[in-house]
Amino acid sequence: MVLDRLSSLGVKFTTISDRIHVLHGKNRGRSPYSNAVLVLDKVTALFDSGCGLDIIERLASVVNIDLVINSHSHPDHTSGDWLLQKLCRCDIKVPYNHKKSICDGDRLSLRLMGQAMAELWKTKGLSITGFRNFIPAGSYKEGEIIHLGHVKFMPLYTPGHLDDHYCLWDPDGDIFIGFDIDLSPFGPWYGNVESDIDAFKASIARVKAIPFRTYISSHAKPVNRHYFEKRISRYEKVFDDRDNAILGLVPLDRWISLEDITMFSPIYGYDYTKPDPILFYYELQMIQKHLSGLVIQEKVIHEDNMYRRKLHGR
């Protein structure tokens, strides 16, 4: 009944089991939107709310959402929280890490973008998602179990993409929700200051060790285990591909700045002669993390905020 009504309203979804359904976000679930996971059980729950405010309105007109679980702080995953709180008076649970900033646009902007970029991001990046402040009813962390009735989920702390990123595992149904370990062709994203490549790699390794059959992510279609193995292999390889691309931009015979390397846009492939300060910031953050790793590997030398490739044997 619920699913038929949602379908009649144009809400697209993929059914994973009789109780778990993936709602397709606008723009095919790509930023500034994401897919959401609807659980129809004794507790009607929605995992993330960034599918689009119009979809949230249609959803709330059909079924009352009792509980929203946010996977992490990025607003393409939380933008519908305020509207669901208004329409359904639902409880919202957020990751214990950074629980005070995930729900507040001012704090979130400072945390993710720093003082210099916070206001611009709040005006041009945050607003495009439809985000508004909301009030969490509580938080969760690893070691707890989210009981929804017949279905239960175990939160797994998987930082790297963001410091408060969690995945959810339904061990009884062999279902794993990886959220922004998203298997996208673009590869892993780690463009905020608190993002961390090593932590991201460790989180991926942890996910691969979980015995699930179905993998759900926030920006791609659900896949079975066989396709997950293929996709995650390509996804992980992007770290090394970016290392090599960035290393190739560091000269042997002269110094180069982080900003000049970013202008080559080895990650986004963007022409920064058409300024996009937010995208430039994201790319700069990711390149800086790779350069730090290349310095540790003794492939690059870093002095006075400048970089030069290290000659072999020196």
Q: Please compute the mean of the pLDDT values over residues 217-226 and round it to a whole number.
A: 97
| Model confidence band, residue 313 (pLDDT cutoffs 50, 70, 90) | very low
The topology (CATH level 3) of 2-239 is Metallo-beta-lactamase; Chain A (3.60.15)
* The pLDDT value given to residue 182: 97
| Model confidence band, residue 311 (pLDDT cutoffs 50, 70, 90) | confident
Q: What are the residues facing 15 on neighbouring strands?
A: 21
CA distances 122 to 54, 105, 281, Å, are 21, 7, 14
DSSP state of 181: S
CA distances 222 to 69, 185, 242, Å, are 19, 14, 26
Numbers of helices and strands, H then E, in the chain = 9, 16
Q: Please compute the mean of the pLDDT values over residues 195-214 and round it to a whole number.
A: 98
Report yes or no: 108 and 75 within 8 Å, Cβ to Cβ: yes
* The pLDDT value given to residue 48: 98
Distance CA 72, CA 84 (A): 17
Q: What are the residues facing 20 on neighbouring strands?
A: 39
Separation of CA 84 from chain center: 21
| Model confidence band, residue 102 (pLDDT cutoffs 50, 70, 90) | very high
pTM of the predicted model, to two decimals?
Answer: 0.96
Q: Is the pLDDT of residue 1 over 80?
A: yes
Q: Is the pLDDT of residue 314 over 80?
A: no
Percent of the chain with pLDDT over 70: 99
Distance CA 113, CA 61 (A): 36
Q: What is the pLDDT of residues 21-46, one digit of tens each?
A: 999 999 999 999 999 999 999 999 99
Which residue reads 């916070």 in tokens?
118
Distance CA 240, CA 36 (A): 30
Q: What is the pLDDT of residues 113-158, one digit of tens each?
A: 999 999 999 999 899 999 999 999 999 999 999 999 999 999 999 9
Q: What are the residues facing 23 on neighbouring strands?
A: 13, 36
3-state helix, strand, coil in the chain (%, to 5): 40, 20, 40
Report yes or no: 36 and 67 within 8 Å, Cβ to Cβ: no
* SS3 (DSSP) at 81: helix
Q: What are the residues facing 300 on neighbouring strands?
A: 309
Q: What would the two tokens of residue 103 be?
A: 């729900």
Report yes or no: 197 and 239 within 8 Å, Cβ to Cβ: yes
For the chain, domain boundaries = 2-239, 249-309
